[in-house]
Amino acid sequence: MKVIIAAGGSGGHIFPSVALAHELKRKGIKDIYFVSSRRRLDRNMLEGCGFPGYFLSINPMPLRFRPIKMVVFVFKFLMDIITSVYILVRTRPAIIVGFGGYSSGAISFIGKMFRVPVLIHEQNFFPGRANRILSRIADVVAVTFKETGTYFKRSEKCIIHSGNPLRLNILSDDKEKSLKNLGMDAGRTTVLVMGGSQGSSFLNTKASEAALALKRSLGDKIQFLHITGKKDHNKIKDFYADNEIKAAVFSFMERIDQAYAASDLIVSRSGAAAIFEIAYYKKPMILIPYPNIKNNQRSNAIYFSDKGAAIYREEKDLCGDDLYREINDLLKDKNKLSEMSQAAGRLAMPEAGSKLADAVILLGER
pLDDT of 122-153, one tens digit each?
A: 999 999 888 999 999 999 999 999 999 999 98
For position 294, what pLDDT does the model report?
64
- Mean of all residue pLDDT scores within the chain: 92
Tell me: do 86 and 180 sit in the same domain: no
pLDDT tens per residue, range 301-325 = 999 999 999 999 999 989 999 999 9
Q: Cα dist. 222→71, 150, 259, 299 in Å?
A: 54, 43, 15, 31
Q: Which domain covers residue 156, as residue numbers?
A: 2-166+350-364
| Amino acid at the residue 86 | Y
Asked if 123 and 90 sit in the same domain, the reply is yes
Task: Please indicate, yes or no, whether residues 208 and 117 belong to a single structural domain of this protein.
Answer: no
Are 311 and 287 spatial neighbours (Cβ–Cβ below 8 Å)? yes
Q: Are residues 332 and 355 both part of a single domain?
A: no
Is the pLDDT at 279 greater than 70, yes or no?
yes
Task: Report the alpha-carbon distance of residue 61 to residue 63 in Å, rounded.
Answer: 6
pLDDT per residue as tens digits for the range 48-80: 788 999 999 876 777 677 788 888 888 888 999
Q: Are residues 19 and 118 in the same domain?
A: yes
Q: Residue 154: pLDDT above 90?
A: no
Number of structural domains found in the chain: 2
Radius of gyration for the chain, computed over Cα atoms and rounded to the nearest angstrom: 21
| pLDDT surpasses 90 at 91 | yes
Evaluate whether 326 touches 301 at the Cβ level (below 8 Å): no
Q: Which has more pLDDT, 286 or 255?
A: 286
pLDDT band at 293 (very low <50, low <70, confident <90, very high): low
237-263 exposure pattern, b = at least 16 Cβ within 10 A, e = fewer: bebbeeeebbbbbbebbeebbbbbbbb
Are 356 and 337 contained in the same domain? no
Instruction: Give residue 169's pLDDT.
Output: 78
Q: Are residues 341 and 359 in the same domain?
A: no
Which CATH number covers residue 187?
A: 3.40.50.2000
Q: What is the mean pLDDT of residues 318-338?
A: 96
Answer yes or no: do 160 and 225 share one domain.
no
182 and 313 assigned to the same domain: yes
- Shared-domain flag, residues 116 and 195: no
Q: What is the reported pLDDT for 11?
A: 73
- For residues 293 and 357, membership in a common domain is answered with no
Q: What's the distance, Cα to Cα, between the start and end of the chain in Å?
A: 11
Question: Is the same domain home to 124 and 15?
Answer: yes
